[in-house]
Amino acid sequence: MGTPSDRAALAERVEELLAVGGPLPIVTAGDPVLRRPAEPFDGQLAPGLLARFVEALRVTMHAAPGVGLAAPQVGVGLRIAVIEDPAPVPEEVRVARGRVPQPFRVLVNPSYAPVGPGRAAFFEGCLSVPGWQAVVARHAEVRLLARDEQGRAVDEVFAGWPARIVQHETDHLDGTLYLDRAEPRSLASNTAMAELWGQPTPERAAAALGFDLPGPAV
């Protein structure tokens, strides 16, 4: 994809980002790179540069901290994302949200499709929309197709919170922010979340703020 000069410019851009060292700056909502579909990866970065970029994404995700990060969130319009979730949550949250630990993974050119009709709604945030959270109804289970950083095929079904992470990060690569899918009346500051809506599920928030949650799958 792109001309040789385009590819060279992209590689140079990544080299410039990495030259600073440490976590990369995270791009926030309003930057056009978050609203453009990312370019499929087909070797624009040489293997060594790709490995360094993936490591920088990992470091940046950990430092934020977050459980996923897509390349456009650091200003690079390539279809690459990383995910990892140690899931340090109470048992009631683990059960309610299906949040279980996920190892570090690199997703290259990912896409997902729903598995079954089930949907689940929970508060969700984003490193590119700091300070806010909102309820998003997403597929409860998805099939992920991708490649890893070595070019090996990934074909895996994710459920619960890991499915949410996969959808959120893949959406970034399509130019979609979680706010595009969120219930507008649920939008809450991090302060409000800490003071009011820390329950494992959003039923109380839905009743108080006046929005609907998805019903059971039929």
Q: Cα 36 vs. chain centroid, distance in angstroms?
A: 15
Evaluate whether residue 215 is within a structural domain.
no
> pLDDT for 66-86, tens place per residue?
999 999 999 999 999 999 999
**168 annotated ligand binder:** yes
Instruction: Look at residue 25 in the predicted model and tell me its pLDDT.
Output: 97
Instruction: Look at residue 59 in the predicted model and tell me its pLDDT.
Output: 98
- Report the distance separating Cα 14 and Cα 177, nearest Å: 23
Evaluate whether residue 100 is within a structural domain.
yes
Instruction: Look at residue 2 in the predicted model and tell me its pLDDT.
Output: 60
Evaluate whether residue 52 is within a structural domain.
yes
Give 8's pLDDT tier (boundaries 50, 70, 90). Answer: confident
Catalytic residue among 16, 169, 183, 195: 169
Instruction: Look at residue 218 in the predicted model and tell me its pLDDT.
Output: 44
Evaluate whether residue 216 is within a structural domain.
no
Ordered strands of the 141-147 beta sheet: 68-70, 80-85, 102-114, 141-147, 153-159
If you search the block for the tokens 């130019």, which residue do you land on?
A: 175
**172 annotated ligand binder:** yes
Evaluate whether residue 217 is within a structural domain.
no
**62 annotated ligand binder:** no
Q: CATH number for the domain including 152?
A: 3.90.45.10
Which strand (E) or helix (H) includes residue 94? Answer: helix 91-97
Q: What is the mean pLDDT of residues 83-105?
A: 97
Instruction: Look at residue 7 in the predicted model and tell me its pLDDT.
Output: 84
Give 150's pLDDT tier (boundaries 50, 70, 90). Answer: very high
Catalytic residue status for 195: no
Domain count, the chain: 1
